């Protein structure tokens, strides 16, 4: 009979795969009509990808979607706020190209589909611009 190996982690205080909270799970569920997305913990929040394209983030239980010059007017027309953060060393506030998703998108997979498509398209355009450089 072979030796039995314990399944106890050698690092009991480290959580290797953090579990998404209820809000993250809710966002993924409302995106089901958009297709399979994956989430990954990053910088105290969560990133959302589809087909290896990063198109959304969640910070402080708020969903932010990627925008660009083509899609930003739709978000601004609704008065939605961009994701911002403060640089640690300089204190400079950085305004990103990710803008808060409308509340109705969080309540309706059909609405989320429209907004997720806009964000995904903006992310694809951004990626194509970076590859040209």
CA atoms of 105 and 31, how far apart (whole Å): 9
At 131 the pLDDT is 67
Residue 7 falls inside a structural domain: no
Residue 60 falls inside a structural domain: yes
CATH number of the domain to which 111 belongs? 3.30.1460.30
Q: Which residues pair with 82 in a beta bridge?
A: 99
Structural domain including 39 reads: 22-132
The structure's pTM equals 0.82
At 133 the pLDDT is 56
Give me the residue label for tokens 């694809």. Answer: 124
Residue 35 falls inside a structural domain: yes
Query: Which CA distances in Å does 75 have to 1, 9, 51, 71, 97?
Result: 65, 46, 24, 7, 11
What is the average pLDDT across 41-47? 90
Task: State the total domains in the chain.
Answer: 1
Task: Assess whether pLDDT exceeds 70 at residue 5.
Answer: no
């Amino acid at each position: 009979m072979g030796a039995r190996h314990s399944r106890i982690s050698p690092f009991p205080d480290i959580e290797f795969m953090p579990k998404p909270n209820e809000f993250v799970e809710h966002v993924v569920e409302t995106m089901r009509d958009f297709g399979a997305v994956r989430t990954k913990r990053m910088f105290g929040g969560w990133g959302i990808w589809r087909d290896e394209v990063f198109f959304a983030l969640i910070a402080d239980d708020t969903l932010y979607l990627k925008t660009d010059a083509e899609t930003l007017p739709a978000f601004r027309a609704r008065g939605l706020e961009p994701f911002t953060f403060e640089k640690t060393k300089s204190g400079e506030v950085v305004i990103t190209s990710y803008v808060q998703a409308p509340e109705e998108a969080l309540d309706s997979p059909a609405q989320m589909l429209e907004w997720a498509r806009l964000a995904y398209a903006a992310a694809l355009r951004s990626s194509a611009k970076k590859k040209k450089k």
